[in-house]
Chain A
Amino acid sequence: MRAIFAVYKREVGLFFRSPIAYAITFGLLLLIGLLFSDNVRQIALINQQGQATYGAEEAFLSNLFFITFLMFIVAPLLTMRLIAEEAREGTLEVLMTLPMGESAFIIGKFFAVWTVYTVILLLTLIHLVMLASYGATLDGGLVAVVYFGAWLYGGAVLSVTLIWSAITEDQIVAAFLGAASVLVLFLADRAAEIAANQPSTAGAADFLRELGLTAHYQNTMLEGILRAEDVAYFILVMIACLFITTLITGTRRWRAS
């Protein structure tokens, strides 16, 4: 516990002192902000024409859709350094000869990066404040479920990309493969649709859909539906990925460097 906290503190401190976290936050908020203002402009146009079928809720939900979608690129950028750099610099060897298990090290790192993501996510709440200032009212329950889901979604995606940082010492490779694997999980429900159309693979369709991210967030929580199975899915993904990352980091002990 003590070791987890020590690793966590150092890593969070490092994020807020390094330009990477600020660059990513800036880039993401800029992109989301542009999309958001475009959404709001369209709403204003429609409303002027007296066809108010498109409202603040849609603007808010599309915002969160893009934030979670963009995690396929944000997450690998945040996690690529975490283990790869320590392995390359040799500091991993120092840490692995301290009285601390690999799991403490991995868990500390993971919670640090999840914290950074949480801060970024909280910053996007500014859009809600803007909508409110224009008099738009959003359902509190919906906002809570959508944000809670986005928080879990981010954690799961970060844990997936963290695996690659443990596998390779090359940060670019880790980032690229991390982005690819998140996209695969994101598109799993498309694969499920294709599979469902073929009688031979129809049985795998449900499995594929449930394996992917979309079935547990974009299609459920983002519509305000809170299901225990979706929460369980994200938590299980995180536990499984952290376990895998720990095992992979442990195998370094067996490898010659």
Chain B
Amino acid sequence: MIEVSGLVKKYGDVTAVRGISFTAEPGKVTGFLGPNGAGKTTTMRILTGYTPPTAGKAVVAGFDVFEKSLAVRKRVGYLPENVPLYRDMTAIGYLMYLAEIRGVKNRRSRAEDVLTRVGLLKRAESQIRTLSKGMKQRVGLASALLHDPEVLILDEPTIGLDPFQVLELRDLVKELGKNHTVLFSTHILSEAEQVCDKVVIINRGEIVAQGAPQELRGELERGGRVLVRANGNVDVILTTMQQTNGVKEVTQIPEGFVVTPSEASLDPRPAVAKALVNANIELVEIRPLAVNLEEIFLELTRRVQPDTETPTDESLLAADVVAEAAKE
């Protein structure tokens, strides 16, 4: 269990984290999502007891990270970004070293257990410097699992892995989420959507949204808009759809037409399809403009950047369609 309330971290004049609050429940993978420099690593460093917060409170596994730092550190497994390891040690040697500092009993068998868990037992005696990036990542993960911690904090664990390794690691994280509290940071949105039970989106040190990926999507569905592709005279298509009942607005974009219904709950597709067919227009495709996490993220991180140009509705639409097209 991780409970964060009003957490602030300042480095001199720079405020990295501006009063964030969230919880991560046991038996779940909580995704910590944000662009680079959003404050993810800083927050994780506070949660692992590495750096103290400037203000606010964080309770990890039942202990305050600042007042009971050692108790927290005993119960947390941490995989820092870039996975620092001793390159001159063997994988098993490194794990046994950390196990000794942690006071883990049966060090060798425990180290072998976690190496088995991450699928690296056959490289146990290899020098860490000879391991591939993915293998190093797994050694790091194994070191976080050594003492069977209640809470696992993984800072961008999939960075730099090949697609196959990424899939493996995601499965492992999902698996670990079943009986640990896992906080998992990433800036890859589809990853958060696949792996996490809950997503906390952070930008510029502030939480901009949190909830299950599905909830977030529902919250931000933008008014049930649909994409229509049809062949025929553009003016005819536009006027036909504009005159259809329940249609508020029709916009032309390179990929086709975007129809906005007058009410968000109303599905304009049957009426629009009928009207087009009646007008002798060749209807090629009609489908909802689905909102995925990527779009939610883009929109949310745009919203809180007043100093950047406010995007127009058109550019958002274009982004939607580009994202859609990328899927296909």
Q: Give chain A's interface residues, CB within 8 Å of chain B.
A: 2-3, 5-7, 10, 14, 17-18, 89-101, 253-256
Decide: B86 and A91 in contact? CB cutoff 8 A.
yes
B76 CB contacts on chain A under 8 angstroms? 97
Decide: A97 and B78 in contact? CB cutoff 8 A.
yes
Decide: B84 and A91 in contact? CB cutoff 8 A.
yes
| Among B16, B70, B98, contact of A256 (Cβ-Cβ < 8 Å) | B16
The interface centre, meaning the residue of B11, B16, B52, B101 with most chain A CB atoms within 10 A of its CB, is B101
Decide: B73 and A98 in contact? CB cutoff 8 A.
yes
What is the 8 Å Cβ interface bit string for chain B, positions 70-94, against chain A (1 contact, 0 not)? 1001101010101011111100000
Closest to A100 in B: B101
CA distance A101 to B48 in the complex (A): 14
Decide: B74 and A99 in contact? CB cutoff 8 A.
yes
Closest to A104 in B: B101
Q: Taking the complex as formed, is B97 at the interface, i.e. its CB lies under 8 A from any CB of chain A?
A: yes
Decide: A94 and B84 in contact? CB cutoff 8 A.
yes
Mark out the residues of chain B between 28 and 45 whose CB falls within 8 Å of any chain A CB in the assembled complex. 45
Q: Known contacts A254-B52, A256-B14: does B86 contact A7 (CB below 8 Å)?
A: no
| Among A2, A93, A254, contact of B101 (Cβ-Cβ < 8 Å) | A2
| Among A89, A93, A253, contact of B52 (Cβ-Cβ < 8 Å) | A253
Q: Known contacts A7-B101, A14-B88, A100-B101: does B51 contact A254 (CB below 8 Å)?
A: yes
Q: List 5 A-B contacts (CB under 8 A).
A: A94-B78, A94-B80, A94-B98, A99-B101, A255-B11
**Shortest Cβ distance from B298 into chain A, in angstroms?**
28
A99 CB contacts on chain B under 8 angstroms? 70, 73-74, 101-103
Mark out the residues of chain B between 1 and 32 whose CB falls within 8 Å of any chain A CB in the assembled complex. 11-12, 14, 16
Decide: B80 and A90 in contact? CB cutoff 8 A.
yes
B12 CB contacts on chain A under 8 angstroms? 256
Closest to B79 in A: A94
Decide: B50 and A98 in contact? CB cutoff 8 A.
no
**Shortest Cβ distance from B78 into chain A, in angstroms?**
5
CA distance A132 to B276 in the complex (A): 112
Q: Known contacts A7-B101, A10-B97: does B82 contact A90 (CB below 8 Å)?
A: yes
Q: Taking the complex as formed, is B49 at the interface, i.e. its CB lies under 8 A from any CB of chain A?
A: yes
**Shortest Cβ distance from A239 into chain B, in angstroms?**
23
CA distance A186 to B89 in the complex (A): 38
CA distance A255 to B87 in the complex (A): 25
- The total number of A-B Cβ pairs within 8 Å is 65
Interface size class of B (residues with CB under 8 A): 20 to 34
Q: Taking the complex as formed, is B100 at the interface, i.e. its CB lies under 8 A from any CB of chain A?
A: yes
CA distance A94 to B89 in the complex (A): 15
Q: Taking the complex as formed, is B143 at the interface, i.e. its CB lies under 8 A from any CB of chain A?
A: yes
Decide: B143 and A94 in contact? CB cutoff 8 A.
yes
**Shortest Cβ distance from B47 into chain A, in angstroms?**
10
CA distance A5 to B88 in the complex (A): 19
Q: Known contacts A90-B82, A253-B52, A254-B52: does B11 contact A98 (CB below 8 Å)?
A: no
A10 CB contacts on chain B under 8 angstroms? 89, 97
Query: Sorted from nearest, which 5 A-B pairs have the closest CB atoms?
Result: A90-B84, A256-B11, A6-B100, A97-B48, A99-B74
A98 CB contacts on chain B under 8 angstroms? 73, 98, 101-102
Closest to A5 in B: B100
A6 CB contacts on chain B under 8 angstroms? 97, 100-101
**Shortest Cβ distance from A236 into chain B, in angstroms?**
29
The interface centre, meaning the residue of A5, A14, A91 with most chain B CB atoms within 10 A of its CB, is A91
CA distance A89 to B98 in the complex (A): 16
**Shortest Cβ distance from B127 into chain A, in angstroms?**
11
Q: Known contacts A255-B11, A256-B11: does B98 contact A93 (CB below 8 Å)?
A: no
**Shortest Cβ distance from A95 into chain B, in angstroms?**
8
CA distance A108 to B49 in the complex (A): 21
CA distance A8 to B254 in the complex (A): 67
Closest to B47 in A: A97
Q: Given A94-B80, A98-B98, A100-B101, 11 other A-B contacts at CB below 8 A?
A: A2-B100, A2-B101, A3-B101, A10-B89, A18-B88, A91-B86, A93-B50, A97-B73, A99-B102, A101-B70, A254-B52
B14 CB contacts on chain A under 8 angstroms? 256
CA distance A226 to B49 in the complex (A): 47
Closest to A2 in B: B103
